[in-house]
Copies of this chain bind each other. A is one copy, B any other.
Amino acid sequence: MRALITGASGFVGAHLVRHLLECGDDVVATYFPQPPDAYVLGMCGGSPPLATQNNSAFTADAPRVGSLSWEYLDTSELESCAKLISSAAPEVIYHLAGMSFVPEAERDFLGALKSNVVGLDNILRIAHQIQRKIRVVFVSSADVYGQVSRDLLPARETTPTHPVNAYSVSKLMAELVADRWTRLGNLEVVVMRPFNHIGPGQNVRFMAASFARQLALIWKGRDEPRIMVGNLSARKDFTDVRDVVRAYRRAAEKGHGLYVISSVKSLAVQEILDGLINISGIPVKVECDPARMRSIEPTELYGSYAKAESELGWKPEFTLRQTLADIYADALARCD
């Protein structure tokens, strides 16, 4: 498939580029504002940024069948979207571009709307006008659920949504935009609601990557054997990013409507930390950092991937141990 990926230089984007290339797709990948760094370029099939044991996804000889080109794209500019979609002529657009860091969206709500809502609106406005069949996979977020009462878990595609922060509100707004353009016709939008994803390459603003980096720095003797954490009792549903991007491609092939992408189990943040400490083999002291606590932290949330399994034939495959081992290996390599 000829694919356009917006926001491809981020964590999920880079994994998606790699997966599509392995599947033989021809990919136009867009970045904004900064070009992809050497790490991302390496992940996407160039020189591998790291080659560790038990981390086969990062070996240099990963098959690369499809072609790849990078383009700058500010999705908030309608004309730029029109030009790029016209020249790339994709059969499918994976729309990942957007603001993904929750505190940033809270500080700059208009900026979040510009990135997360207007960007999608522009892509769909153009896709709607083009006189040929085009499919769009829009990556929303399970954060749109907000707090779900225990009796409604696991969250499904039909579970009521009550987002409680600026980021998750903006994502649900984008789903309204997707619904609007789908109703107007000429295109099909498949909406993905992934739960938390983890894996090698994630920004250290996110919890598992932060733990892994702190452990790696301690291992290298560059930090005290002390690890700073947020709320360890919060329970979330974590899926390996490499499983997640497989779901996106399946959705592009044959998805309709909305899909929850999840592991159908909740894991305490404590378990992620314990797993990483165990893999690293480092004795550390764990300390709570109030600055890492979110004001409203849903106590427990997990989702059912039953619809994705039934319609897309997808389920998560990575074990937690493998995921954590890869995250730690990646953190070690990245703090060289």
Query: Which A residues have a C-beta under 8 Å from some C-beta of B?
Result: 76, 109-110, 113-114, 117-118, 121, 146-147, 162-166, 169, 172-173, 176-177, 179-180, 183-184, 296
- Contact in complex: B180, A163 (CB < 8 Å): yes
**Given the interface contacts A163-B180, A180-B164, A183-B164, does A114 sit within 8 Å of B110 by beta carbon?**
yes
Cβ-neighbour of A121 out of B109, B118, B184 (below 8 A):
B109
Give the complex CA separation of A5 and B90 in angstroms.
Answer: 48
- Contact in complex: B183, A162 (CB < 8 Å): yes
Closest chain B CB from A133 CB (angstroms): 21
Interface of A is mostly: helix
**Given the interface contacts A113-B118, A118-B109, A121-B109, does A162 sit within 8 Å of B179 by beta carbon?**
yes
Which B residues touch A183, using CB under 8 A?
146-147, 162, 164
**Given the interface contacts A110-B113, A117-B113, does A176 sit within 8 Å of B179 by beta carbon?**
no
Cβ-neighbour of A176 out of B109, B147, B169 (below 8 A):
B169
Copies in the complex: 2
Which B residues touch A296, using CB under 8 A?
184
Closest chain B CB from A134 CB (angstroms): 20
- Contact in complex: B184, A164 (CB < 8 Å): yes
Closest chain B CB from A247 CB (angstroms): 26
Give the complex CA separation of A109 and B173 in angstroms.
Answer: 13
Which B residues touch A172, using CB under 8 A?
176
Nearest B residue (CB) for A118: B110
Closest chain B CB from A120 CB (angstroms): 11
Which B residues touch A177, using CB under 8 A?
169
Give the complex CA separation of A275 and B198 in angstroms.
Answer: 64
Closest chain B CB from A161 CB (angstroms): 9
Give the complex CA separation of A21 and B61 in angstroms.
Answer: 77
Give the complex CA separation of A162 and B179 in angstroms.
Answer: 7
**Given the interface contacts A110-B113, A113-B118, A117-B113, does A169 sit within 8 Å of B164 by beta carbon?**
no
Give the complex CA separation of A109 and B181 in angstroms.
Answer: 14
Nearest B residue (CB) for A168: B180
- Contact in complex: B184, A163 (CB < 8 Å): no
Cβ-neighbour of A113 out of B113, B147, B164, B165 (below 8 A):
B113
Which B residues touch A164, using CB under 8 A?
180, 183-184
Give the complex CA separation of A113 and B165 in angstroms.
Answer: 17
- Contact in complex: B176, A180 (CB < 8 Å): no
Nearest B residue (CB) for A177: B169
Nearest B residue (CB) for A166: B121
Give the complex CA separation of A296 and B166 in angstroms.
Answer: 30
Which B residues touch A118, using CB under 8 A?
109-110, 113
